[in-house]
Amino acid sequence: MRPIGILERLRRYPVKSMAGEELTAARVAFTGLTGDRIYAFVDPQGKESFPWHSARQQHDLLLYQPRLLNPPSTSTPYPGVEAFRVEVTTPLNLTLPIDSAELLAEIRAKAGKNVQLRFSEKGMQDSRPISIFGFATLAALGSELEQTLDARRFRANFYVRLDDPTPFAEDQLVGRRLKVGETLEVEVVKKDSRCIMINVDPDTGVADLPLLKTVARVNRGSAGVYAAVLRDGVVRCGDSVALLDD
C-alpha cells in the first residue's frame, strides 16, 4: 500500500442537482455516501437513460439548499427513515420540506414540466457511487481560463490533493484500487465525462464560463473520476488516500 495524497474536502448532495453540504466525516456504503442524492426530480417524458430534471435544464436548481434534518451518525450503518428527512431553502429564502406540494409546484413552474419527486435510499448518482476530483485539475483549469475556479462546480464527493501535481493525475487511477482512511476501499472505474453544469456559477445560477469547452479541449471532455465501493467504511477530511495494488 502506497500513500498518494489526502482527502481534503468531502461533500454530499441530498437532492440531485441542488446545492451540496460540506462534511467533515461520512459513512460510505456500497451505494455511496449516506444521504447522497437520495432525492431527485424526474421528467416523466425524459429519456429512459437519463430521466432526471437537473441543473442542465434549470440552472437555478443549484441555488436551492437542501439539508438532512437528522443526519445519521457515522457509527450507524443502517439508519432509519427519519435520517432521510430533508428540507430545502429556496432562492427566495423560504424553507420547505422536500416533499411539500409548495416546493414541487415551484419546481414545476420553473421547469415548465410536470416533474415528479423521487426518493431512493440507495442514491441516484449519474454513473457510480463515488466521484473523485483532484485539486491540481482544478488549478489547471482555472489557469486555462485565467480564473480562480470554485471547486463546487464539479460536484464531487471526494476532493483530493494528490502528491502528483500533474493536472488530471486522477485519470491514471482508473482501474486501480484505493484505500481512503482506515477502512474504505474503492476501485476507480472510469473518467467523469462532463456536462454543461460545470459552466454554471453555484452562487448565481448563471452560466458564466466556457468551462465545458475548456475541459473538452484540454482533456477530451473529462475531469475527475468515478469509483465503486469495494469495502464500506467511514472517511474524514484529512484522511490518507493510498494505492492498494501498488
How high is the pLDDT of residue 147? 93
| pLDDT value of position 47 | 76
Q: How many whole angstroms from its chain centre is CA 142?
A: 20
Instruction: Give bridge partners of residue 117 from the DSSP assignment.
Output: 41
> Is residue 40 classed as helix, strand or coil in its secondary structure?
strand
Q: What does the pLDDT read at residue 46? A: 74
pLDDT per residue of the chain (246 residues) written in tens, 0 to 9: 999 999 999 999 999 999 999 999 999 999 999 999 999 999 988 776 789 999 999 999 999 999 999 999 999 888 998 999 999 999 999 999 999 999 999 999 999 999 999 999 999 999 899 999 999 999 999 999 999 999 999 999 999 999 999 999 999 999 999 999 999 999 999 999 999 999 999 999 999 999 999 999 999 999 999 999 999 999 999 999 999 987
231 bridge partner residues: 185
CA-to-CA distance for 56 and 197, rounded, in angstroms? 5
The whole-angstrom separation of Cα 34 and Cα 21 is: 12
* CA nearest to 28, candidates 97, 125, 164: 125
Specify the number of domains making up the chain: 1
* Rounded-to-integer distance, Cα 241 and Cα 244, Å: 10
Count Cβ atoms below 10 Å from residue 3 Cβ, excluding itself. Answer: 12
Distance CA 155, CA 226 (A): 12
3-state DSSP assignment of residue 122:
coil
pTM exceeding the 0.75 threshold for the entire prediction: yes
What does the angle CA 41 – CA 221 – CA 171 come to, to the nearest 5 degrees? 100
**What cell numbers appear for 205 in the block?**
445560477
Domain that holds residue 128: 2-243
Q: Residue 82 is placed in which grid cell?
A: 427519519
Helices (H), the chain: 101-111, 135-145, 211-219
CATH number, residue 74? 2.40.33.20
